[in-house]
Structure 1
Amino acid sequence: MSVPAQGQAEEGGFRRVLGLGALLSVAIGLVVSQGVMVLMLQGVGFSGLGFIVPLGLAYLLALSYAFSFSELSLMIPRAGGLSSYTEIALGHFPAILATFSGYVVVAMFALSAELLLLDLIVNKVYPGVFPTFSVAFGVLGLFTVLNLLGIDVFAKLQTALAVIMVCVLLIIGVAAIYQGAPTETASAVLKGDWNPMGAGVLTLTALAVWGFVGAEFVCPLVEETKRPERNIPRSMIIGLTVIFLTIALYCLGALFLVPQEALTTDALPHYLFATTVFGKPGEVFLVIAAVTATFSTLNSSLAAIPRMLYGMAQNGQAFPQFKRLSPRARTPWVAVLFVSAITGLPILVMGQDAASIALLLLAAALAWLLAYIIVHLDVIALRRRYPDIARPFRTPFYPLPQLFGIAGMLYGIWYASPSPDMTGKIFGIAGVVLGLVSLIAVLWIKLVMRKDLFRPEPLARAE
């Protein structure tokens, strides 16, 4: 199946307006969030310089999923993303489970946590100025409207947000390294045991992986991408590399200035870090970083997840209303409003509890890892079933990246918790979510679609 040429658009479908810059901003902007800032600082607080081991492993695992998603998205260039690939490779049940547990439900946790963090930071820096939740819901409403206006509006905004966010994080990290290098804290870090956790540092892999999940959100935008066979793979690979370097410098700077214990015990370690580097003016830097990170993550999610639902509706795996596009902007407006609604709901339930945010993010990471295992299995299954089909992108050294990715993701799931007291809670939250999604998926496939759970659809269905 060939990828449509630049400028082409399916009649009544999407418009191809996204280039490499816009996709790169999605890959970076979705991944680097406030949740990432918090979890990465906690990780380096637990393990010191040894955090480079799980961070590097997480980067390699991320490249493996980038290869798999690139191959699948260009072989089956559909807005549905993972659901479209998986129904052809493994059947409808894995397709629905992977997409809802790995993306739709995760959005409820991760985006809600992101908006709560923003609300907490803004109210900490400007106490009493904004009513409770007004920042969170105001931002959610703003970006819902912007995404309803069309993909070109989204792309221009996303590029600016991603550039500002990365620059601010690099400034904080580099300034901390420069300022902290002569201090006793930095000397102790450099001269002491670089990896006090020993082999146990590998248990932080799941936490580190959270710093790299989400770059594949460029794939549901394939029907709106110019030269997708070039821009889809490059955006993910370049984006993940930029993220790795940014996180490494950011974490090193924190080690040079902030006591490790403080990084693991403070509910808002990124606030502590920024104010340690710049004092009171550091609050301004943090607000800029927090605002751009949250805006960028929310903007990317409200662009990509509704298009996954659009593709699932096209496949009969979700409510047909999700197929509706606005006449002028060609935006899946029903799906956008749905994602916005499920993002806002947990904010009312969780309240302003900063301690629960890390728990929710790790539970979301566990569900996301399951989705990545499924995408690797998709590649293996389709290579066997359709060995001669045209693939604009082929995974280098196949099947090693897929086998490495599956093993690494399973390891990350097994050691999803950085501390024993959180293990039961993380698996409990993820288990309830996956169980509920599985039940809904079985009922939908059997009663509505009237199909077998694990019978793959023919590849011709994707054409």
Structure 2
Amino acid sequence: MTDADISLGSRSAEKAVSHGKLRKSLGLVTLLSVSVGLVVSQGVMVLMLQGAGIAGPAFLIPLSLAFLLALTYAFSFSELALMIPRAGSLSSYTEVALGHFAAIVSTFSGYVVVAMFALSAELLLLDQIISIVYPGVFPNLSVALGVLVLFTLLNLLGIDIFARLQTALATMMLIILLALGLSALTGSASEPALSASLPEVWNPMGAGVLTLVAMAIWGFVGAEFVCPLVEESHRPERNIPWAMILGITIIFVTIALYALGALYYVPQEQLASNALPHYLYATALFGETGKHVLVIAAITATCSTLNTSLAAIPRMLYGMADNGQAFPQFKLLSRRFNSPWVAVLFVSGITGVPILFMGDDPGVVGMLLIAAAIAWLLAYVVCHLDVIALRRRYPNLRRPFRTPFYPLPQLFGIAGMLISIYYASPTPEMAEAIFTSAGVVLGLVSLIAVVWIKLVMRKPLFSPEPLENVLNR
């Protein structure tokens, strides 16, 4: 690549950030709240306690390995997002590295489809918690659908409203989780502890505890949702990487305290087997008051996750439409609030469908969520491959962030994600259904991608797009 190419790439990157159609208004605090707010959901609150129930204090081992795996994807996304600062995020990086087919499949299956089931399951879990604490007060599914409608409307009002809400929600959520963990560990809770110390056998699973990395990694997926907001970020060269790295670190500390504290107040077998272990935890810690504490935690966690998804995923679709990889209607911005309103309504709509049709059977949604989450981890594998491919194709291109110790983080990340996918099924009995569902999801998205690329875009499936074409759009 010539010096002229490097200069062109640098100028184009600066132009993409400074003259994009989306308004730049997000600072480090908001981006940090995005990286934290999507990750720490009710689903994560449940899974982390179940992991602590299975492994006891030794759950810190897979949790630490998952933390390191999360840092690898943060490095890769930071390098890509600042080299190709586009709202399309993974789709924009992958079309330059691996071609349009991989770009569409990885983004739709790894984010849009995952959101369809993840957000639905999250809202159903909130509805379930509130119906237990306040029985008969709210009609079935009214809380789930009401929260979805409310945050859809708020996200249609623009990025400024989103930023104010997200900072408040993420801060409150972290305070509650830290309060649970610290109250349990320090013995300052209102109820007596089940045990005065952690179990004597620190790691009853031995080397088998490593299989729980597949469970622990779910506690760290999603920090890269700051990347679709790059065109609306102040000082993205500093704020994008630090938001992900600090966010993942804060999550690790919070989850570790939260999970260890539960071992003092709830028997391990109950944490491992109960569908709502966070309910057991809160009530064992604070008695009847714990129910109301849990409702606040559930509301803030679900609303934070939903708010982040309704901001980031529509901007992925906006970027994909700008790349020609999705319907052009996703590019439409509201004149008054500058929000991608068609994309916001689309994400909201696909979230509501499983709630309406599977509301009485959340177990089905949970199974589909695990299947779709496999596609999420595959998206991380694609991200690491993007970095390797672009390092080879454009070795001299200006990179505001460069992965430390390249390519070791990428190789470690690819291996770790593939192992996590292999152990994704919680039981052997569920494995066939989960991997079949994941295969169906990937198959349908792949078929749609082939039809779209060949008949609409009229481009090759696997030929990478020239970098200059993407940066100059």
Hey, what does 2:408 align to over in structure 1?
400
SS in 2 for 1:412: helix
Which whole-Å deviations, capped at 9, do the CAs of 1:98-123 have from their partners, x for residues lacking one? 10111000001100000000100111
Hey, what does 2:195 align to over in structure 1?
185
Unaligned 5+ runs, structure 2? 1-8
Q: Percent identity?
A: 71
Q: Residue type matched to 1:162 in 2?
A: A
Shift of 1:54: 1.1
Shift of 1:403: 0.4
Pair 366,310 (structure 1): closer, same or farther in 2 beyond 3 Å: same
Equivalent-residue separation in structure 2 for 1:211 and 1:365 (angstroms): 12
SS in 1 for 2:381: helix
Unaligned 5+ runs, structure 1? none
- Asked whether the equivalents of residues 16 and 85 of structure 2 are also in contact (C-alpha less than 8 Å), the reply is no
Equivalent-residue separation in structure 1 for 2:224 and 2:196 (angstroms): 36
Hey, what does 1:351 align to over in structure 2?
359
Q: Does 1:53 align with 2:76?
A: no
SS in 2 for 1:451: coil
Hey, what does 2:308 align to over in structure 1?
300
Q: How does 1:45-444 map to 2 (within 5 A)?
A: 45-179=53-187, 183=193, 185-187=195-197, 189-191=198-200, 193-356=201-364, 358-444=366-452
Q: Residue type matched to 2:51 in 1?
A: G
Q: Does 1:38 align with 2:70?
A: no
Q: Residue type matched to 1:20 in 2?
A: L
Equivalent-residue separation in structure 1 for 2:315 and 2:81 (angstroms): 13
- Asked whether the equivalents of residues 82 and 399 of structure 2 are also in contact (C-alpha less than 8 Å), the reply is yes
Equivalent-residue separation in structure 2 for 1:448 and 1:120 (angstroms): 43
TM-score norm. by structure 2 comes to 0.94
Shift of 1:184: 5.8
Q: Residue type matched to 1:38 in 2?
A: V
Shift of 1:186: 4.8
Equivalent-residue separation in structure 2 for 1:259 and 1:444 (angstroms): 53
Shift of 1:199: 1.6
Which whole-Å deviations, capped at 9, do the CAs of 1:281-337 have from their partners, x for residues lacking one? 001110111000000000000000000000111111111100101112111100000
Equivalent-residue separation in structure 1 for 2:196 and 2:207 (angstroms): 23
Which whole-Å deviations, capped at 9, do the CAs of 1:37-73 have from their partners, x for residues lacking one? 0111111111111211111111000000000000000
Equivalent-residue separation in structure 2 for 1:358 and 1:279 (angstroms): 29
Hey, what does 2:19 align to over in structure 1?
9
Equivalent-residue separation in structure 1 for 2:15 and 2:239 (angstroms): 13
Shift of 1:264: 2.0
Q: Residue type matched to 1:109 in 2?
A: F
Hey, what does 2:6 align to over in structure 1?
none
Q: Residue type matched to 1:269 in 2?
A: P
Equivalent-residue separation in structure 2 for 1:104 and 1:308 (angstroms): 9
Equivalent-residue separation in structure 2 for 1:433 and 1:158 (angstroms): 30
Equivalent-residue separation in structure 2 for 1:102 and 1:161 (angstroms): 25
TM-score norm. by structure 1 comes to 0.96
Q: How many pairs does the alignment contain?
A: 459
Equivalent-residue separation in structure 1 for 2:202 and 2:367 (angstroms): 27
Equivalent-residue separation in structure 2 for 1:89 and 1:6 (angstroms): 18
Pair 273,374 (structure 1): closer, same or farther in 2 beyond 3 Å: same
Equivalent-residue separation in structure 2 for 1:34 and 1:183 (angstroms): 24
Measured on the aligned residues, the alpha-carbon RMSD in Å equals 1.6
Tell me whether 162-171 or 198-207 shows the greater mean CA deviation: 198-207
Shift of 1:356: 4.1
Hey, what does 2:4 align to over in structure 1?
none
Tell me whether 260-269 or 288-297 shows the greater mean CA deviation: 260-269
Shift of 1:421: 2.3
Pair 377,235 (structure 1): closer, same or farther in 2 beyond 3 Å: same
Equivalent-residue separation in structure 2 for 1:64 and 1:223 (angstroms): 23
Equivalent-residue separation in structure 1 for 2:36 and 2:330 (angstroms): 27
- Asked whether the equivalents of residues 221 and 304 of structure 1 are also in contact (C-alpha less than 8 Å), the reply is yes
